[in-house]
Amino acid sequence: MNHPPIRLIALTAVLAISLAACGTTSSTPSPVPTPTPTATASLPPIIPTDVPTPTPAPSVTPAPTAALSGTWNGTWQDTSPDTSAGTFVVTFTQISPTIVGTITVSGTGCITNGTVTGNVSGSTITFGAVSGQRQISYNGTISGSKMQGTYSAPTCGDATGNWSATHN
């Protein structure tokens, strides 16, 4: 009869006991468990009820299609305190919506030359001419290469009237 040596049996028994103590009989490592994500509750944002709703910004009216930069030749006619009349030449440089330039007025001794500053919003134009202490305020509308409106000159005999101009 062939009996395995006692040492081999003892070694096999020790190995079997060691593997059993580890809880596995395989030499392949067991996978590391992947953590399971937990769901979080989604809460609506807290909106205070005593805060007023913001007012939307006003819409911006586009600049007129006709460029204002350049020379405009015009006429003016007092409606008060008399019926004086004359012409003017105004040269604008437009830096939207601002206009700046110079004006030469004939037919009056109030302002013969002056500087001009103003604004354009859509088809509306406002500008003022200043020469020393004297001022004329112009308000009007633009349509293509023409503009027209009213003026007031409180420092020039409180004159008021109408004006019109065309672009060269």
Domain at 80, CATH number: 2.40.128.120
Domains contained in the chain, number: 1
* Residue 124 domain boundaries: 70-167
Contacts of 87 (CB under 8 A, 6+ apart): 73, 74, 75, 76, 105, 106, 107
The answer to whether position 50 is within a domain reads no
Which helix (H) or strand (E) covers residue 33, if one does? Answer: none
pLDDT of residue 168: 81
The answer to whether position 90 is within a domain reads yes
Q: Are 134 and 153 in contact (CB under 8 A)?
A: yes
Query: For the chain, which residues score pLDDT lower than 50?
Result: 8, 10-16, 18-19, 24-26, 62-66
Q: How far is CA 147 from the centre of its chain?
A: 28
The answer to whether position 96 is within a domain reads yes
pLDDT of residue 96: 84
Length of the chain: 168
The answer to whether position 102 is within a domain reads yes
Nearest-CA neighbor of 63 among 96, 99, 95, 101?
96
